């Protein structure tokens, strides 16, 4: 396959698809499979595949491959071999009820605080994948952990400030 990376460069891989996963974010479709290089499971966004050449070499999906197991800690489709990371978010009163009425992740734990705000925590494979969802809540959510996500949100706020200061 010839797959265009997010930055725009085109890469050529040998790819053996194991699983196709529709992804609600952006109404996209991804495929998970064995990719050479690097000789490991990887995810490719189908919309970025520009060319496919069918090879005659057969392959078998390993009997122990389980997409449910692979994605059990994922927010969506990003998986890792590392241990999941605890994400802790505090949602303000204005959205606490709406957040609390939906089950967002299998590992989530929700606590309603005395002031009506909501403490949300979950163990996520790759927390970066959550960032668009978190940004969508705007000032109604605060990232408490991990520190790397909190710093990323602080940097985002700085960039937003710069955008709006230039236009006002």
Spatial separation of the C-alpha atoms in residues 21 and 19, rounded to whole Å: 6
pTM given for the model: 0.87
Burial 94-105 (b: 16+ CB within 10 A, else e): eebeebbeeeeb
- Positions of the chain with pLDDT lower than 70, given as ranges: 167-168
Here the tokens at position 34 are 């064995």
The per-residue DSSP string of 89-135 comes to: EEE-HHHHHHHHTS---TT-EEEE-TTS-EEEEEEES-GGGGHHHHH
User: Which pLDDT score is estimated for 168?
Assistant: 60
pLDDT digits over 115-153, tens only?
999 999 999 999 999 999 999 999 999 999 999 999 999
């Amino acid at each position: 396959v010839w797959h265009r990376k997010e930055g725009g460069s085109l890469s050529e891989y040998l790819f053996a698809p194991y699983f196709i996963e529709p992804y609600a974010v952006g109404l996209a479709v991804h495929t998970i499979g064995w990719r050479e290089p690097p000789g490991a499971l990887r995810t490719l966004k189908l919309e970025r595949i520009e060319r496919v050449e069918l090879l005659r070499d057969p392959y078998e999906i390993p009997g122990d491959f389980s997409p449910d197991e692979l994605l059990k800690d994922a927010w969506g489709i990003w998986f890792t071999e590392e241990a999941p990371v605890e994400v802790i978010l505090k949602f303000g009163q204005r959205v606490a009820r709406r957040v609390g009425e939906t089950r967002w992740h299998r590992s989530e734990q929700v606590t309603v605080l005395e002031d009506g705000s909501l403490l949300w925590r979950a163990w996520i494979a790759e927390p970066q994948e959550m960032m668009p969802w978190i940004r969508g809540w705007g000032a109604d959510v605060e990232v408490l952990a991990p520190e790397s996500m909190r710093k990323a949100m602080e940097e985002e706020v700085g960039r937003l400030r710069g955008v709006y200061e230039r236009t006002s």
